[in-house]
Amino acid sequence: MKKYILPSLKLTIIMIVLLALVYPILIAAIGKMAPGAGKGETVTVNGKVVGYALVGQKFTEDKYFQGRPSAVDYNAAGSAGSNKGPSNPDYLKTVQERIDSFLVHNPGVKKEDIPAELVTASGSGLDPDLSPAAAKIQVKRIAAIRKLEESKLIGLIDQQTEGPFLGLFGPAKVNVLKLNIALDKLQ
């Protein structure tokens, strides 16, 4: 019996040291080297933190680009999707309400032209990015409200568009918070 207990205790102590001390310290050190020093990548304007680059924000005014809807009302503490499938009547009602709202705020846009990401929440409910097409479909509304040329706004979107990771992985995307900050600076 001694033959099995001592090696088991030694292995347990080694694993406790590795997994409860060494591993967390290593991960914390790696986090300190990341943008934002492990506290998240904050976005500041005039020395004031206005949001986080990797967390979706709620923009309700028509003078701003609207981001992807959130199933958790943009609450980062409760990140989650709705877990409702496309056959769920409640989900279909919610999506239809979002479509109707989008059409009211963006007259002239046809229902079939609305990108799905503007009426469906992401898996985390906190997606900070849109496709360039989802941003560009909002240009007419913002140009009219801010009295700007549409070409200026399209140029701004193109300027704020990040290409796929390493030019290969994932789609092109636009961070909505950064785009809206650039939009405010434009005026």
Q: Report pTM.
A: 0.77
Residue 104 counted as domain residue = yes
Residue 39 counted as domain residue = no
pLDDT for residue 37:
74
Residue 20 counted as domain residue = no
What is the Cα–Cα distance from 77 to 24, expressed in whole angstroms? 22
> Which residues span the domain enclosing 57?
53-186
Residue 85 counted as domain residue = yes
Residue 71 counted as domain residue = yes
Share of the chain above pLDDT 90, in %: 40
pLDDT for residue 179:
93
Residue 72 counted as domain residue = yes
Residue 93 counted as domain residue = yes
Residue 24 counted as domain residue = no
Structurally, how many domains does the chain consist of? 1
pLDDT for residue 41:
76
Q: Which structure tokens are listed for 174?
A: 């636009």
Q: Which structure tokens are listed for 36?
A: 């934002």
Burial 27-37 (b: 16+ CB within 10 A, else e): eeeeeeeeeee
Tens of pLDDT, residue by residue over 12-67, are 999 999 999 999 999 988 888 877 777 777 777 887 877 777 787 888 888 999 98
For the chain, how many residues are written?
187
Q: Which residues pair with 173 in a beta bridge?
A: 162
Asked if residue 76 has pLDDT above 80, the reply is: no
